[in-house]
Amino acid sequence: MSHLDRPYFQSVVWTPSTSRAVLAAMKTIATLEERRPLDQTSRSMLEATQTWVFKSAIAIDDLTSIVPKDLALQVKDHHQQQQALQFLILMPYLDMEVDAREVALVNQFAEALGLTPQTLKSLRLVQARKFKQLLLGYTWRSFSAILPGEGWWQKLKITFTASRQYLGDKRVAQRYQALESLPTGTLGRELYQYYRDRNFPLPGERKSFSEYLIGHDLVHLLSGIGTDMQGEITVAGFEAGMSRSQFGFELLLEVILDFHLGLEFTTMGILEAGSNHLDPNALMQAYARGQQMSFDLLDPAWDFETVFAQPISELRELFQIPERSQEAPKRLLKSA
């Protein structure tokens, strides 16, 4: 298995000094360079990030503002810089306002690091309230990243097939209805029950989502993360951690807009949007769990039907999915 088969940020190793610098930058954004108090949600995000990602023991109240050039000087590894910037980009979303002053600080840190990830461009569009432009670009990138097939022609054919399944495809529906006969605890049987318990049509049944989008539901089942609004944000954190590219953070942005900012970004009236459902501790624990994965469950080339008959417990072991912890991990890094 190549490095690219593993989560994009899995190889990042944090030291006490780099951890402190990133936490200081996160706090700098949240407090507008110490011009306002640190709010509770931002504090929780800093604490959760250091607990689950950095595994450090740094006193949040002792952190002082850091200027962008100093962050760039202290965090020099390219992958560290990329991951750090993703954490900084999350900060303006926490208070559900996306303050232009916070976005300006994120831009300054990004410029110092010499990075312009898509999530930064998206943050700018959210702050400018250009949601149609954001949705169009996100849909196009999702089309490329999630659907199987090589090349745009194959992906267009798959899109046509998915549309046909929404109208009803008896052969596809029968394949998924047959999962009811599998033993309890297998991935296929639990997927069948997952749909029936929620009154969702199975793939191929009329008004169903395409089977090409099942990967997200399988992540819920294999991670054990719930499907309420908080769960949707949390599972997206898991997906960001296990993703083989930075697109995973775009998936996280999508649900933050839908279920934390309440903007109905991709719900399209099918699902109810909601506000203030981001739990920093649950999110960052899920992100850390996803980083430990040996496989990206959203890989469009994954033929998940080949493992429908296997017990979920065996698949969790196969894919190295750590169990959810009720306790914080041992803090490996002492305050520097």
Q: Which residues pair with 333 in a beta bridge?
A: 56
Token pair listed for 63 = 């952190």
- 123 and 168, same domain (yes or no): no
In this structure, what are the phi and psi dihedrals at residue 279, rounded to the nearest 5 degrees?
-105, 105
Backbone angles phi, psi at 73, to 5 degrees: -70, -35
* 18, 87: one domain: yes
Q: In angstroms, how far is the first alpha carbon of the chain from the final one?
A: 36
Residues 128 and 205 in one domain: no
Q: Tell whether 334 is covered by a domain.
A: no
Residue of 97, 86, 3, 104 lying closest to 45 (CA atoms)? 86
Same domain assignment for residues 31 and 81: yes
324 lies in a domain? no
- 307 in any annotated domain: yes
Domain boundary among 77, 108, 137: 137
- Distance (Å, whole) CA 216 – CA 222: 10
| Helices and strands per DSSP (H, E), number in the chain | 15, 0
3-state secondary structure of 265: coil
Instruction: With both helix axes pointing from N to C terminus, report the angle between 100-113 and 16-30 in degrees, rounded to the nearest 10.
Output: 150
* Burial class (CB within 10 angstroms; exposed 0-12, middle 13-18, buried 19+) of 323: exposed
Flag whether 335 is in a domain.
no
Residue 327 domain flag: no
Q: What are the two backbone dihedrals, phi and then psi, of residue 128, each rounded to the nearest 5 degrees?
A: -85, -5
Please indicate, yes or no, whether residues 46 and 161 belong to a single structural domain of this protein: no
CA pair distance 322, 234, nearest whole angstrom: 15
Number of domains the chain contains: 2
Helix (H, G, I), strand (E, B) or coil at 37: coil
Question: Are 161 and 300 within one domain?
Answer: yes
**Do both 154 and 302 map to the same domain?**
yes
Q: Do residue 47 and residue 153 come from a single domain?
A: no
CA 72 distance to own-chain centroid = 25
Q: Which of 91, 86, 117 is nearest to 104 (CA)?
A: 91
Q: Which of 92, 107, 137 is the last residue of a domain?
A: 137
Rounded to whole angstroms, how far apart are CA atoms 42 and 68?
Answer: 19
pLDDT of residue 152: 64
Are both 218 and 169 inside the same structural domain? yes
Query: Looking at residue 8, which CATH number applies to its domain?
Result: 1.10.3680
311 part of a folded domain: yes
Q: Phi and psi (nearest 5°) for 164? A: -65, -35
**Domain identity same for 122 and 167:** no
Residues 130 and 196 in one domain: no
Answer yes or no: do 154 and 194 share one domain: yes
What pLDDT is attached to residue 4? 42
Distance CA 153, CA 28 (A): 46
Positions of the chain with pLDDT lower than 50, given as ranges:
1-4, 333-336
What does the pLDDT read at residue 149?
A: 62
What residues contact residue 24 under an 8 Å CB cut-off, 6+ apart?
A: 63, 64, 65, 66, 71
| Predicted pLDDT of residue 251 | 94
Q: Which domain holds residue 219?
A: 149-318
Are the C-beta atoms of residues 71 and 22 closer than 8 Å to each other? yes
| Lookup: tokens for 2 | 């190549």
DSSP letters, 281-328, are HHHHHHHHHHHT-SS-TT-TT--GGGGTTSBHHHHHHHTT-PPPPSSP
pTM recorded for the entire structure = 0.91
For residue 179 the two structure tokens come to 């999962």
- Per-residue pLDDT, 82: 97
309 domain residue, yes or no? yes
CA distance 247 to 259: 19
- Is residue 325 assigned to a domain? no
pLDDT of residue 265: 81
